Amino acid sequence: MTPDAFTALSAPERERLSRTDQLSWVDPMLATLTDRRFSDTGWIFERKLDGIRCLAYRSGDAVSLFSRKRQRLERTYPEIAENLAAQREDNFVIDGEIVAFEGRRTSFALLQQRSGIIDPTRARQSTVRVIYYAFDILHLDGYDTRGLSLRARKRVLRSAIEFTGPLRFTVHRNTDGEGYFESACSRGWEGIIAKKADSLYSSRRSPNWLKFKCSVGQEFVIGGFTQPAGSRTGFGALLLGHYEGERFVYAGKVGTGFDERTLRDLRAKLGQLEIEQSPFAGFRRFERGTHFVQPLLVCQVTFTEWTRDGMLRHPRFEGIREDKAASEVVREATTSSRS
């Protein structure tokens, strides 16, 4: 007997469901950055959220929350796990994003205050309120739903899950991607995600999901730091890089966006990773007193643009990312094509 949520599907759509045991792990589908804005009846458009990707698994009474790197998150966000444990459906896998709001904008920097907590009691006492925006469902009550179209999966998701408390359904707009993008940027949002409405769920970076970004920003790997000057503590600036194949390439320094606690805590972490030689590929003259570290820590940085020589212009530190491996960090390329 299929779940009630599947009554939202047509007969041909139900035939595309496959009966399987619950999935133990699914690599998340990722969006490709594009510099082309478009409107299309075959696409839907969702708000781009600046948070932590989270795949939620429920099997009976057990709920597990995982980051992209398969880090367990339920002790950090116990209110989300508890809400999912109280759902009427007791076997599902959903995909979404955990965020914290500063006013009407999602703030990765604010979310950082929760992401370092692994004690559920402390997490519940935190003043940082978090929301889990679910945007896809991959498995439900013994059925793999990844073979359904995106529109069909979203209908199933909305029917299967009760969106109360810290759970939200990720709403979308049809057709008008250009207008939605302009509206998103005027509201100070990070951008929007364009998704091909008939696309299946595939565990890779796909041209069927595209990022329209209002501001430029991405992850970088920390390869070193400079000495603090004046009354500043911790460090002066971080040396940033990204990978080009096996080469770790220098992308410039970031010296803004840090509070005193971050300067202190991050300096302690960097001290444990110090090495004598520069990890950056090729010869480059760094200022005297520069410290180099193993390129293991990933951070989020916003900036205005790339210079012609591959450096960041006006970068600002947003926070440490623990949900992405350093080896995955590359310069985000844009695509102007649609498929």
Q: Note the pTM of the prediction, 2 decimals.
A: 0.81
C-alpha 148: how far from its chain's center? Answer: 23
Q: Are residues 221 and 242 in the same domain?
A: yes
CATH number where 243 lies = 2.40.50.140
Structural domain contains residue 41: yes
**Is 324 tagged catalytic?**
no
Q: Are residues 128 and 186 in the same domain?
A: no
State pLDDT tens for residues 178-190. Answer: 999 999 999 988 8
SS3 call for 229: coil
Structural domain contains residue 13: no
How high is the pLDDT of residue 15?
92
State pLDDT tens for residues 12-68. Answer: 999 999 999 988 899 999 999 888 899 999 999 999 999 999 999 999 999 999 999
State pLDDT tens for residues 262-319. Answer: 999 999 999 999 999 999 998 678 988 899 999 999 999 999 889 889 999 889 999 9
How high is the pLDDT of residue 285?
85
The label of the residue with tokens 């992308």 reads 251
Last residue of a domain, one of 161, 187, 214: 214
Q: Are residues 94 and 182 in the same domain?
A: no
Q: Within 13 A of 38's CA, how many CA atoms are on the CB side? A: 18
How high is the pLDDT of residue 339?
40
Residue 173 has pLDDT above 60, yes or no: yes
Residue 336 has pLDDT above 60, yes or no: no
Which structural domain, as residue segments, surrounds residue 178?
28-49+172-214
The pLDDT-based confidence of 8 (bands split at 50, 70, 90) is: confident
State pLDDT tens for residues 216-226. Answer: 789 999 999 99
Residue 213 has pLDDT above 80, yes or no: yes
Q: How far apart are CA 215 and CA 177, in angstroms?
A: 17
How high is the pLDDT of residue 337?
43
Q: Could you tell me which of 48, 49, 53, 55 has the C-alpha nearest to residue 92?
A: 55
Q: Which bin fits 90, alpha (ψ -120 to 50), beta or left (φ > 0)?
A: alpha
Q: To which H or E segment does residue 185 belong?
A: helix 177-186
Token code pair at residue 239: 């040396």
Spell out the residues 6+ positions from residue 148 whose beta carbon is closer than 8 angstroms to its own: 9, 13, 16, 17, 156, 200
How high is the pLDDT of residue 335?
52
Any idea how long the chain is? 339
How high is the pLDDT of residue 2?
61
Which one is catalytic: 48, 196, 211, 213? Answer: 48
Q: Are residues 103 and 76 in the same domain?
A: yes
Q: How far from 188 is each of 31, 41, 107, 117, 182, CA to CA, in Å?
A: 21, 26, 11, 28, 10
Spell out the residues 6+ positions from residue 59 whose beta carbon is closer than 8 angstroms to its own: 22, 90, 91
Residue 241 has pLDDT above 80, yes or no: yes
How high is the pLDDT of residue 109?
87
Q: What percent of the chain has pLDDT over 70?
A: 97
**What is the mean pLDDT of the segment spanning 221-243?**
94
